[in-house]
Amino acid sequence: MIKNLIKGNRLFKKYEFPNFQKDMEESIKHGQKPEILFIGCSDSRVTPDLFLNTKPGDMFILRNVGNFVPKYKHDEDFHGSAAAIEYAVSVLKIKDIIVCGHSHCGACESLYQELPDTEDLVHIKTWLKLGEKAKSDTLKEKKFTTQSEMYRETEKNSIKHQLENLLSYPGVLKAIKNNELTLHGWHYSIEDAGISYYNKEKDKFCPLEELQI
C-alpha cells in the first residue's frame, strides 16, 4: 500500500498540483483563508475533498473518531479537537462549521457494543461517551424495524448533539451572536454519496439540494 502512496504522490505532482500551484503560492505568501471548518469522521471511506469537490485551501478540516465534538473545558490537559475549533473560529475567522456524520459509522455502532476493558482501548471507551446522549435519545424513539435503521438514526442524533456541544465554546457562541458564524449538520451516505442536512425548524434531515443559502 505504501508503494501506491508513493506512486500516487508522483502522479499528483505531475498532473494535479500544477492546477493548484498558483493558489498555493498565494496562500504561502498571505496565509490560508478557508471559510469553512469541516468536522468529519476519521473513517477511511469518508473523503470530504472528493465528495464535495473542493480544492486545497477551501476547508479547514478536523477529523476524529465519530466526528464528535467534546464540550468546552478549560484545563491544562491536551485538547486536540478543541484547539482546532478555537483556531478555526478565533484565528482563521471561518464563516461556517459543518459537522458531517456518515452512514455505517463504526463509532455509533460501537455505542451498542460492550468493548473489552483493556488498557489498549481506554481512550476509545472514554471518547465514545460523547455519543451516549445520541444513543439514549435513539432508544427512546423505539420505532425501528431493523438494526440498520437504529444505527442511521443514532448517527443523525449524534450530529445534533455535536452541534449543541459546539455552543459551549465561547468563541463559537460569540461569533454566532455577531452573525459571523453559521452551524450546519450534515449526514453523508457512503452508499451513494448523497448528503442530507439537519433542518432545525422541521427537526429532521432533508436532502442537501433543498438547503436555502
- Structure confidence at residue 142 (pLDDT): 76
pLDDT in tens, 78-135: 999 999 999 999 999 999 999 999 999 999 999 999 888 898 999 999 999 999 999 9
Q: What is the pLDDT of residue 117?
A: 85
Give the pLDDT score at 116. Answer: 85
What pLDDT sits at residue 175? 98
CATH at residue 106: 3.40.1050.10
Q: Are 160 and 171 within one domain?
A: yes
Contact predicate 61/84, CB 8 Å: no
Mean pLDDT in residue range 186-205: 97
Give pLDDT tens digits for 14-51.
Answer: 999 999 999 999 999 999 999 999 999 999 999 999 99
pLDDT of residue 213: 78
Claim to verify: residue 165 and residue 179 sit in the same structural domain: yes
90 plus 192 within the same structural domain: yes
> Is 122 in the same domain as 167?
yes
| Residues 90, 14 within the same domain | no
Residue 78: C-alpha distances to residues 8, 23, 83 (Å) = 34, 33, 9
Question: DSSP letters of the chain?
Answer: -HHHHHHHHHHIIIIIHHHHHHHHHHHHHH----SEEEEEE--TT--HHHHTT--TTSEEEEEEGGG--PPP--SSS--HHHHHHHIIIIIS--SEEEEEEETT-HHHHHTTS-----GGGHHHHHHGGGGHHHHHHHHHH---SSHHHHHHHHHHHHHHHHHHHHTTSHHHHHHHHTT--EEEEEEE-TTT--EEEEETTTTEEEEGGG---
Measured CA to CA, the distance from residue 35 to residue 72 in angstroms comes to 22
Q: Look at the block and give the residue holding cell 483493556.
A: 118
pLDDT the model gives residue 132: 96
Is 181 in the same domain as 146? yes
Residue 57: pLDDT band (50, 70, 90) is very high
Claim to verify: residue 134 and residue 40 sit in the same structural domain: yes
Range of the domain at 18: 1-31
5 and 54 together in one domain? no
Number of separate domains in the chain: 2
Identify whether residues 119 and 97 lie together within a single domain. Answer: yes
Predicted confidence band of residue 212 (pLDDT cuts 50, 70, 90): confident
Largest CA distance in the chain: 56
Determine the average pLDDT of the residues in 206-211.
94
Asked whether residue 61 falls in the same domain as residue 42, the answer is: yes
What pLDDT, in 10s, does the model give residues 150-164? 999 999 999 999 999
Residues 88 and 2 in one domain: no
Q: Are residues 166 and 95 part of one domain?
A: yes
